[in-house]
């Protein structure tokens, strides 16, 4: 029934075995539940430091950002409820996050061989982490494309060439630029020399998929890939909920409504497509319907299953959430955004199961890359996370129940 590679178990052996040799502890002690969970606490400390280093690296140096903002942002992300909860259990989340963030940090510092190696470690914790290794390669490509794009725009400005006009003029200009850029052997060879460690890792991953007969190990029948497009909408809603101090305000809502009115035909088409995707591609996994320990069970039962029309009525909320997320990333280049949303799509859309844990990594990468919010918003966000964490742990520890066919104690969790 275990469907992930043994990264967490191998690393646990690497921690508990030396502990048994050094301290002379028995196997009963070093392989106890508490000791194994302690491995994830070590990862959580590492994640805190990596988040701080990433915020220092990702955020532009020329912008005035106090150390208080960085520390508050780090603390807020470290206690992000879905991640924080699993730091105390023997799950792959903390280790998966550690190696993926470490790989991203090394990529930003230009240590691509180290980044690819760390990406492989992340893959050993969860197979879908290979996509975030590709994101690291995409980050390098996006940086080079942005530099070339700025040079191209400057050249056109100096030559005073007539600009392309029309509803999709910007899209056409970027497409023409990408075609011209990809036709240059010099450009392609430069990108290959920068990203070859990631390409090598991708070949190894493809070999694994061929030999294994797919990406899933263990119980494949419960983890079949499908085109579950509403997963994107669930992620947008999840992000809107946990980042509401930054994404939800009267000013944002007014801006969105003005834009909808200004481009009503485009938004009408987007709404129709979204309704179609919800209608034809909504799936309910058997675990989602049967496992009443998880919050997603109750979200599905009490929101989506109660009234059929609810999933369609929520489409405007999904569109607003998606627009608000894209708007908060406008400080990043168009090519960075393209890489991020392609990776986001690839990670979550093939998943049939609605599971909040799948949203942790993309959420943290998103949150790292938005401009540092004001201190007041960070305090509000941190306070909300603290309340959610308190309630989650209180319910987990005190509101237990039993299934009719089992004597085991069951607990509510993410």
Residues of the chain with pLDDT under 70: 61-65, 156-169
Number of structural domains (the chain) is 1
With vertex at residue 196, the alpha carbon angle to CA 194 and CA 198, rounded to the nearest 5 degrees, is 105
299, part of any domain: yes
295, part of any domain: yes
191, part of any domain: no
What pLDDT was estimated at residue 54?
Answer: 96
What pLDDT was estimated at residue 341?
Answer: 96
What pLDDT was estimated at residue 65?
Answer: 62
Residue 403, exposed/middle/buried by CB under 10 A (0-12, 13-18, 19+)?
exposed
Q: For residue 375, give the nearest of 9, 32, 5, 73 by alpha carbon.
A: 73
What pLDDT was estimated at residue 168?
Answer: 65
What pLDDT was estimated at residue 223?
Answer: 82
CB 104 within 8 A of CB 305: no
A 10 A CB-CB count for 131 gives 22
Tell me the C-alpha to C-alpha distance, in Å, between residue 275 and each of 226, 279, 281, 315.
18, 6, 10, 7
Could you give the CA distance from residue 25 to residue 33 in angstroms, rounded to a whole number?
A: 15
133, part of any domain: no
281, part of any domain: yes
pLDDT tens digits for range 229-273: 999 999 999 999 999 999 999 999 999 999 999 999 999 999 999
The sign of the dihedral angle between the CA atoms of 318, 320, 325, 330 is positive
2, part of any domain: no
What pLDDT was estimated at residue 305?
Answer: 87
300, part of any domain: yes
Find the domain containing 250 and state its range: 226-373
143, part of any domain: no
């Amino acid at each position: 029934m275990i469907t992930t590679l043994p990264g967490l178990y191998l690393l646990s052996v690497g921690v508990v075995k030396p502990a048994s040799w050094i301290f002379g502890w028995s196997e009963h002690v070093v392989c106890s539940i508490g000791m194994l969970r302690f491995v994830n606490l070590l990862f959580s400390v590492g994640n805190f430091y990596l988040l701080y280093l990433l915020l220092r690296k990702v955020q532009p140096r020329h912008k005035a950002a106090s150390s208080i903002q960085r520390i508050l942002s780090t603390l807020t992300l470290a206690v992000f409820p879905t991640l924080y909860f699993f730091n105390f259990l023997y799950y792959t989340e903390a280790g998966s996050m550690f190696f993926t963030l470490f790989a991203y940090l090394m990529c930003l510092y230009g240590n691509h061989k180290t980044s690819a190696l760390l990406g492989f470690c992340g893959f050993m914790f969860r197979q879908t982490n290979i996509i975030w290794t590709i994101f690291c390669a995409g980050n390098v490509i996006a940086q080079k494309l942005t530099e070339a794009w700025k040079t191209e725009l400057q050249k056109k400005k100096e030559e005073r060439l007539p600009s392309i006009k029309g509803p999709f003029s910007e899209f056409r200009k970027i497409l023409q630029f990408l075609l011209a850029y990809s036709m240059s052997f010099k450009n392609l060879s430069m990108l290959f020399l920068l990203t070859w460690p990631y390409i090598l890792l991708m070949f190894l991953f493809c070999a694994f998929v061929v030999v294994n007969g797919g990406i899933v190990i263990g119980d494949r029948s419960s983890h079949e890939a499908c085109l579950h497009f509403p997963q994107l909408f669930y992620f947008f809603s999840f992000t809107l909920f946990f980042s509401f101090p930054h994404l939800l305000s009267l000013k944002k809502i007014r801006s969105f409504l003005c834009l909808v009115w200004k481009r009503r035909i485009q938004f009408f088409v987007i709404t129709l497509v979204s309704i179609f995707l919800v209608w034809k591609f909504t799936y309910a996994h058997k675990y989602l319907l049967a496992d009443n320990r998880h919050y997603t069970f109750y979200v599905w039962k009490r929101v989506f299953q109660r009234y059929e029309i609810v999933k369609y009525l929520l489409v405007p909320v999904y569109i607003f959430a998606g627009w608000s997320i894209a708007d908060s990333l406008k400080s990043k280049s168009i090519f960075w955004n393209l890489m991020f949303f392609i990776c986001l799509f690839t990670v979550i859309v093939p998943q049939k199961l609605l599971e909040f844990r799948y949203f942790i990594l993309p959420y943290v990468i998103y949150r790292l890359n938005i401009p540092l919010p004001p201190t007041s918003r960070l305090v509000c966000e941190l306070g909300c996370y603290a309340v959610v964490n308190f309630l989650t742990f209180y319910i987990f520890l005190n509101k237990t129940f039993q299934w009719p066919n089992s004597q085991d104690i069951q607990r509510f969790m993410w």
